[in-house]
Amino acid sequence: MIAIFRKELWTFFGNWSAWFIIAAFSLIGSLFLFFFENDFNLFDIGTATLQSYFVLAPWLLMFVIPAVSMKSLAEEEQSGTLNWLFSQPVKISEIIAGKFLSVLIVGVLCIIPSLVYFCTVYILGVPKGNIDLGATFGSYFGLVLLIAVFSAVGILASSLSQNQIMAYLLGVFLCFIFYFGIEQLASYKLLGGADYILSNLGFYQHFIAFTRGLIDTRDVFYFLLVIVLSLFLAKIFVEKKK
């Protein structure tokens, strides 16, 4: 697994693709938070909070993470190197785990520059430091879990596809459905009491709890369960290609 992990990281950072993705993610976030006139602009909000960032970030990650994960397995199959991996003394579960961890690392690195936003809000707050640290750190923890679950879904999408474009489109679609689509469907209240259950099947309700500073073990368990299930399904689909 370590060898696969190192190989994937070298692929991402050796050809500058990871650096470009991290820079683009940070640039777009900065434009929305400080320059563009919109509901996310920190100066327009007028309060010392990063909550607008934690609303914006999942939507950006929804497109960024599938872009990172799309080549993980789809490119291996397309180029024929997947069969070479099968011939090596490495388990399929280790291949999946190594690729998942590499995508997760790149995703986490995307949000590291946002600590500059935190420092800015902390300094500009009146009085200085007037920011809800509990909600902020809880939101960061939730965002890391969301990155992990997006990464797992992206790996699953890549295992289902034979080319990178289809892997990317399927990854974005699945992330969108699980984060926003299920929540939106539940908001129509078409199922009566079952709407609450439907809402809790999606990512949004579990992530939004962290943005309030509440770290509930049930939400953590939910994300871990989806991650494990997604990677397990990816392992099954890759084994069928063996």
Quote the CA–CA distance of 172 and 164 in Å, as a whole number: 12
Give 45-71 pLDDT, tens digit per residue: 767 678 889 999 999 999 999 999 998
For residue 218, the model assigns a pLDDT of: 92
Number of domains in the chain: 1
For residue 193, the model assigns a pLDDT of: 67
pLDDT band at 106 (very low <50, low <70, confident <90, very high): very high
The answer to whether 206 and 222 have CB atoms below 8 angstroms apart is yes
How many angstroms from the chain centroid is the CA of residue 220?
A: 15
Q: What percent of the chain has pLDDT over 90?
A: 48
Give 14-52 pLDDT, tens digit per residue: 888 889 999 999 999 999 888 888 888 877 776 767 888
Q: Provide the domain limits for residue 59.
A: 2-240
Quote the CA–CA distance of 72 and 15 in Å, as a whole number: 15
For residue 90, the model assigns a pLDDT of: 82
Model-wide pTM > 0.85:
yes
Give rounded-to-5 percent helix, strand, coil for the chain.
80, 0, 20
Long-range residue pairs from 17-20, CB within 8 A, at least 24 positions apart, any chain? 18/68, 18/106, 18/109
Q: Which two tokens stand for residue 197?
A: 């259950």
Q: What percent of the chain has pLDDT over 70?
A: 96
pLDDT band at 154 (very low <50, low <70, confident <90, very high): very high
For 57, half-sphere exposure in the C-beta direction (CA atoms, 13 angstrom radius) is 29
Q: Which residue in this structure is represented by tokens 């943005």?
A: 211
DSSP of 72-83, one letter per residue?
TTHHHHHHTHHH
